[in-house]
Every structure is written in C-alpha cells, then in structure tokens.
C-alpha cells in the first residue's frame, strides 16, 4: 500500500491512521515501551476502515481507481498470465498503432490471440501510447489479428482500457467511425470464441470497438459507458464540475453493468483496487479466462455466433404506449 | 384503389402525414437567406431552388419523398423510451421525453416503415434529429433491429437515413450497446445477401457514424452534410488548432474514400430504385 504514491482523497483517513501506526511503532522501538495493545487496536481499526471505505465506493471513486497509474495495463496482464507471447504489429495499410497491442500467446495450454489498448505510465510512454486512445489503424490492426485468429480457430481475448478513440484530425480523415463500425460487425460474426474484459476505462465506441464477445467481463473497479463522466457533465450540465453527478447518473460501474445485462460477470479486485496487489488480479483474470476457454472451445461455431448475436440483441429496454 | 383495399393491405397512412401547404407561406433558406415559397421548396424535395441547400428534414418528409403516393406501413409505431437508469441531469429523462414528444409529435428519434418506392418493396429507417438530437437509445436500436428482421423475413432491401448526434447519454451503456446490437443484425442481413444502403445527412456523428451509418453496402450522403466520429468542437480542442475548410463534410469524406457517392435529394428516389434493381438483379423496366 505504501508504494502507491497516488492516494485519493477518500483514502486519506486510512493513510492518517497508517501514519499514526508508524509513529506508534517508532515510539515503541525508540523508547522500549510496550504499546503492542494499542498497536493491535489501531491495526484492527485500519482494517475496519479500509473495509468500510472500499466496500462503499461511489461511482466517481471507482472511476478514479480505474485510472490509477499503478494499475496493471494490457502488456502487464499479457506478461503475467500468458506464455510464448509474440507481439504482432501493424494494420498492413497505414502504420502500427502503439495504443493497441496484440499477438499470439498461450494461456495455460490454450493458444490465444490477445489484444488490448495500451496506456503508458510516465510522460514519455503515455505520449508514445497516445494515452491509450487508438487511431483507426489500431482498430484495423485489432481486426487483422482477429481475422488471423479466426483463420486458425484460435480464441480471441481483448483487454479494454481506453479513455476513448482518438478524436483527432487524421483519425477522422482515415475513418475512425468506419473502423470502429467494421469491428462491431465483424466481431459479432467472428468464427472463433471471443472473450472481452474491461481492465480499466471502457469509454464509449473506442472501448466497444474491441468489445463484442461471447463473454464480456469487467474488473471490479472499472467503468464502461457511452461517455466519460467529464464529457457527460460538460454536455448536459455545461460545466466540467458535475462529473461526480454524471458518474452516478450514467450508472457506469461493473455492478451497474451486470444489473443492466451488459456484462456476463465481474472479476474481483483486491481491497482498494488492482494497484494494491497485481498478482491478485492476474490470478483472478487467468482463472476466469481458463474456465471460459474450457467451455467456449468446446462449443460449435454456429451456436457460438448465434448465441453472441442473441445476447447483444437482447440489450436495451423499451416501453409501448 | 379503395380505402378498404388499402386497409386490407395494411397501408395506414394517417391523414396528418399528408401535408397540404397553403399558398403565400414563405421559407427563408438557411443557406443563402433567400425567401422562397414554402410550397416551391416542398415540391423541390425540401431543397433550396436558389442555392441547392438541403433543408434539415425528418421522417415525415423523407417518407413522403420516397414512398409512392406517401403510402407506407409504419412499424413499431407505439414504441417509446423507458428510463432504465432513472437518469436525471438538469432535468429527469422521462420529463425530457415527454417534452420532446409534445414538441415534435414524434415518439422517438427514429421511425421505420415499409412500402413501395417506384413500385419496389423497400424498408426505410429514418432518424429524426428534432427528437433529442436524433440520439440513439434503446428504441432506435430495437426499431432498427426489427426492421432488419423484417427485411430478412420478406427479402426486402433496407435504407437507413441517418441524422444524429450519436448515442443517447440518458440510457448510458445501454445506448452504447445499441451500436453492437444493430451491427450484429446488419451482419445477418448481409449474410442473407440483401442490399443495405446507408444515407448520411446533416449531421451524422458519434456512435451512429461508428456503427450502422458506415456499414452500408453503399454508403452515400447528401451534399455538404457534416459526417464524423468526433464532433468538430472536440477535435478542435484536442489538436488546438482550427479545422480546415470543408473538414468532415460529405465532399471531404468522398475524397478520403469513405462514401460511394453524394446524392442530391431530388434524385434520391430514382437513384435508389435504379441501384436496388441492379443489386437485386431485377429488370430495369420493373
């Protein structure tokens, strides 16, 4: 916990107690006084406070956790849960998009094609990865890799983590809308199993562009919606300041999306979020993927596609007068 | 054709659809500011007779332009939006819906209908920008998917006329999923070998561009329509410089290879029949 420099305001009470605990321990060792009773009480209080705060996170707090810079990113997951990963580059048309990565690998004994948006951690790598915002080339590269997987009957796994598709001039010139649209259509009838997992931010079309799967999951403290809370605030409230209200209104958490029938399940994170214990989420994700690969690789392709289309066709709520 | 015969064929065009414009009413063209008789503009497919500016019109006008004698059968006419998120911004979503219904006399941002166009069977999906910016929520998704299914069952071609600001925020991720839902159903239409023509009109942006609007066998647009994924304001803020003249307009998309052609609204009906006949291998005289 102490290694995480980025502390959120709502975590402050926990860190205040931790500071007191450290002071107490320091006094104990310096002055040779026995404070073990008080230390135990404080440790118990800290744990209770953590449980209390982290199990009552509001939606905006979850959005903040989903963006924590010490969360594992796509390549971290790939390194941790796969073997024999070979990264494959380029869309074969324009260039290689650094905000979208992918390649062949194995998860357990299963050959897979694993694809995802990639963010950077420091200023330089963030710019290199374009903040995880793909251009059309990224979506076309992802589609190229999915088609390659389809050709050899290899299941596709996508890891979603993007603040949105890049809204740039060249992105428009090269057909950002068309690139995403094409992926939606092709993924819905891809003749191989597809599993999608939101590992951080699931912002709108940029996320959905690699998000059509037989199974779609979200990690516990991630968000997935039609728009970011900040942009929603700026459009509907005409100010950037109502992002907390917007996050609540959008019902964008993993729990909300499960209730709305948009995702198939939630993959648990350690107390406080994935950045507190990477190995915890690596294990949880790998376990979920292996159990789905067991089932999906045994399902015949027409059934797989029919179920996939039916699943998405059921999404939405309407009324009649 | 008698009224009863029309009922039995399930053609139920309400009287309110049939527009009678009295003489002596004038419309100012938003393009060239010329005052033109409203009747003249209507007869000219709502296109300015002076500067060829295409006025922003909705499903009533497009159905009138495309369906023979303005006769068509509307599908899902009683479908309205629910409020699955209990969404509230400065206004509660149900209140926003009621206001829009009152103001526009529409029930949501899309209408779907089938009928004859130059004697050919055609399913037309048409968005109405006047209803919450033509935004796509569950109703838009469900109506379009039902129209696609109807096309597959009857082996009819599909035309979707887009005019939308994108996905509807008030239905959150459910709106986003309509992009997936419609695209998946369009994949089925395509597998059935049925033609789908996507007509983009001013403006077509966001999640609509990033799904069905760009998935036509033919992607076509009216002249000078704004078409894009991100809106011009967002792009301008992102890149920190002014956008070039004509950026994201139909002509720009055509030059960059994303449109098959640009069509003048006055020529739309005949061009559609001609192409749909070729695509369905029907004789030209039919």
- Tell me whether residues A317 and B82 touch, CB distance under 8 A: yes
Best probe of the B interface among A174, A176, A185, by most B CBs < 10 A, is A185
Pick the last residue of a domain from A21, A36, A56.
Answer: A56
> What is the nearest CA distance from B46 to chain A, expressed in angstroms?
28
Q: Indicate whether B45 belongs to any domain.
A: yes
What is A172-195 written as a DSSP string? HHTTHHHHHHHHHHHHHT-SS-EE
Question: Is A304 found in the same domain as A246?
Answer: yes
- Tell me whether residues A169 and B243 touch, CB distance under 8 A: yes
Q: Indicate whether B284 belongs to any domain.
A: no
Question: Is A255 found in the same domain as A223?
Answer: yes
> What is the nearest CA distance from A172 to chain B, expressed in angstroms?
7
The whole-angstrom separation of Cα B59 and Cα B110 is 8
Question: Is B250 found in the same domain as B152?
Answer: yes
Find the domain containing B28 and state its range.
1-55
Q: From the CB of residue B149, how many other CB atoms can be counted at a distance below 10 Å?
A: 15
User: Which chain B positions have a beta carbon within 8 Å of A245's beta carbon?
Assistant: 89
Question: Is B71 found in the same domain as B44?
Answer: no
Is the minimum CB–CB distance between A131 and chain B shorter than 8 Å? no
Question: Is A100 found in the same domain as A23?
Answer: no
Question: Is A52 found in the same domain as A195?
Answer: no
Question: Is B85 found in the same domain as B15?
Answer: no
Question: Is A160 found in the same domain as A43?
Answer: no
Is the minimum CB–CB distance between B230 and chain A shorter than 8 Å? yes
> What is the nearest CA distance from A78 to chain B, expressed in angstroms?
26
In chain A, % of residues over pLDDT 90: 93
Question: Is B87 found in the same domain as B163?
Answer: yes
Question: Is A200 found in the same domain as A122?
Answer: yes
Question: Is A141 found in the same domain as A14?
Answer: no
ipTM for the predicted complex comes to 0.95
**Helices (H), strands (E): how many in chain B?**
9, 10
For B190-224, how does the pLDDT look when each residue is reduced to its tens digit (9 = 90+)? 999 999 999 999 999 999 999 999 999 999 999 99
Question: Is A248 found in the same domain as A154?
Answer: yes
Whether the CB-CB separation of B66 and B122 falls below 8 Å is answered with: yes
Best probe of the B interface among A160, A172, A233, A257, by most B CBs < 10 A, is A172
The whole-angstrom separation of Cα A75 and Cα A21 is 36
What is the model's pLDDT at position A5? Answer: 73
Find the domain containing A143 and state its range.
63-313
Q: Indicate whether B286 belongs to any domain.
A: no
Question: Is A127 found in the same domain as A30?
Answer: no
For A9-66, how does the pLDDT look when each residue is reduced to its tens digit (9 = 90+)? 999 999 999 999 999 888 888 888 888 889 999 999 999 999 999 999 999 999 999 9
- Tell me whether residues A167 and B235 touch, CB distance under 8 A: yes
- Tell me whether residues B176 and A169 touch, CB distance under 8 A: no
- Is the pLDDT score of A235 beyond 70? yes
For A256-265, how does the pLDDT look when each residue is reduced to its tens digit (9 = 90+)? 999 999 999 9
Question: Is A159 found in the same domain as A22?
Answer: no
Blockwise average pLDDT, block size 10, chain B, 286 residues: 47 55 82 92 94 96 98 98 96 97 98 98 98 98 98 98 97 98 98 98 98 98 98 91 95 98 98 97 84
Whether the CB-CB separation of A203 and B235 falls below 8 Å is answered with: no
Phi-psi region of A16 (alpha: psi -120 to 50; beta: other; left: phi over 0): alpha
Q: Which run of H or of E encompasses A144?
A: helix A136-151
Question: Is B124 found in the same domain as B8?
Answer: no
Q: Based on the structure, what is the number of domains in chain A?
A: 2
> What is the nearest CA distance from A19 to chain B, expressed in angstroms?
40
Pick the last residue of a domain from A20, A38, A56.
Answer: A56
Best probe of the B interface among A140, A227, A318, by most B CBs < 10 A, is A318
Q: Indicate whether A1 belongs to any domain.
A: no
User: Which chain B positions have a beta carbon within 8 Å of A211's beta carbon?
Assistant: 180
- Tell me whether residues A319 and B80 touch, CB distance under 8 A: yes
Question: Is A37 found in the same domain as A169?
Answer: no
Q: From the CB of residue A254, how many other CB atoms can be counted at a distance below 10 Å?
A: 26
> What is the nearest CA distance from A59 to chain B, expressed in angstroms?
14
Q: Indicate whether A320 belongs to any domain.
A: no
Residue count of chain A: 321
Question: Is B64 found in the same domain as B193?
Answer: yes
Q: Based on the structure, what is the number of domains in chain B?
A: 2
């Amino acid at each position: 916990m102490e290694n995480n420099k980025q502390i959120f305001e709502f975590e402050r009470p926990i860190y205040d107690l931790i500071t007191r605990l450290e002071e107490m321990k320091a006094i104990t060792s310096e002055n040779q006084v026995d404070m073990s009773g008080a230390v135990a009480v404080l440790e118990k209080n800290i744990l209770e406070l953590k449980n209390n705060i982290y199990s009552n996170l509001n939606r905006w707090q979850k959005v903040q956790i989903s963006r924590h810079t010490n969360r594992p990113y796509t390549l971290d997951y790939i390194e941790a849960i796969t073997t024999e990963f070979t990264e494959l580059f380029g869309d074969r048309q324009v260039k290689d998009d650094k905000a979208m990565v992918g390649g062949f690998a194995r998860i357990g004994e299963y050959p897979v094609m694993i694809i995802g948006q990639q963010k950077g951690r420091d200023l330089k790598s963030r710019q290199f990865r374009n903040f995880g915002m793909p251009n059309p080339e990224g979506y076309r590269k992802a589609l190229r890799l999915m088609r390659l997987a389809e050709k050899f009957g290899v299941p596709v796994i996508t890891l979603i983590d993007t603040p949105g598709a890049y809204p740039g001039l060249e992105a428009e010139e090269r057909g950002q809308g068309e690139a995403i649209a094409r992926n939606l259509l092709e993924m819905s009838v891809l003749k191989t199993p597809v599993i999608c997992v939101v590992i951080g931010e699931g912002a709108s079309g940029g996320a959905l562009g690699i998000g059509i799967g037989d199974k779609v999951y979200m990690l516990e403290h991630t968000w997935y919606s039609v728009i970011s809370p900040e942009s929603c605030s700026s459009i509907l409230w005409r100010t950037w300041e109502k992002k907390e209200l917007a996050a609540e209104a959008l019902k964008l958490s993993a729990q909300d999306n499960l209730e709305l029938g948009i995702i198939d399940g939630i993959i648990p994170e350690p107390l406080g979020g994935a950045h507190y214990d990477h190995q915890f989420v690596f294990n949880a994700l790998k376990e979920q993927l292996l159990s789905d690969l067991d089932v999906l690789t045994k399902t015949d392709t027409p059934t797989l596609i029919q179920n996939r289309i039916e699943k998405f066709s059921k999404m939405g709520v309407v009324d009649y007068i | 054709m008698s009224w009863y015969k029309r009922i039995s064929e399930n053609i139920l065009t309400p009287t309110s659809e049939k527009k009678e414009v009295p003489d002596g009413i004038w419309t100012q063209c938003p393009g060239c500011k010329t005052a033109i008789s409203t009747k003249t503009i209507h007869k000219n497919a709502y296109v300015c007779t002076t500067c060829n500016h295409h006025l922003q019109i909705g499903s009533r006008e497009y159905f009138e332009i495309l369906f023979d004698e303005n006769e068509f059968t509307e599908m899902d006419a009683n479908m309205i939006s629910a409020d699955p998120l209990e969404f509230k911004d400065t206004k509660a979503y149900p209140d926003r819906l009621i206001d829009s219904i009152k103001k526009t006399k529409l029930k949501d941002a899309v209408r779907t209908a089938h009928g004859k166009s130059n004697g050919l069977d055609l399913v037309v999906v048409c968005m109405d920008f006047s209803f919450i910016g033509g935004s796509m929520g569950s109703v838009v998704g469900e109506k379009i998917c039902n129209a696609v299914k109807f096309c597959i069952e009857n082996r009819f071609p599909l035309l979707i006329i887009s005019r939308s600001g994108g996905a509807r925020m008030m239905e959150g991720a459910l709106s986003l999923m309509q992009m997936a839902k419609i695209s998946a159903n369009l994949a089925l239409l395509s597998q059935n070998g049925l033609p789908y023509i996507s007509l983009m009109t001013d403006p077509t942006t966001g999640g609509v561009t990033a799904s069905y609007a760009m998935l036509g066998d033919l992607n076509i647009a009216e002249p000078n329509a704004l078409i894009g994924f991100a809106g011009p304001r967002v792009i301008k803020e992102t890149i920190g410089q002014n956008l070039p003249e004509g950026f994201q307009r139909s002509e720009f998309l055509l030059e960059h290879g994303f449109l098959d052609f640009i069509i003048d609204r006055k020529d739309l009906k005949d061009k559609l029949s001609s192409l749909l006949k070729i695509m369905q291998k029907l004789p030209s005289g039919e």
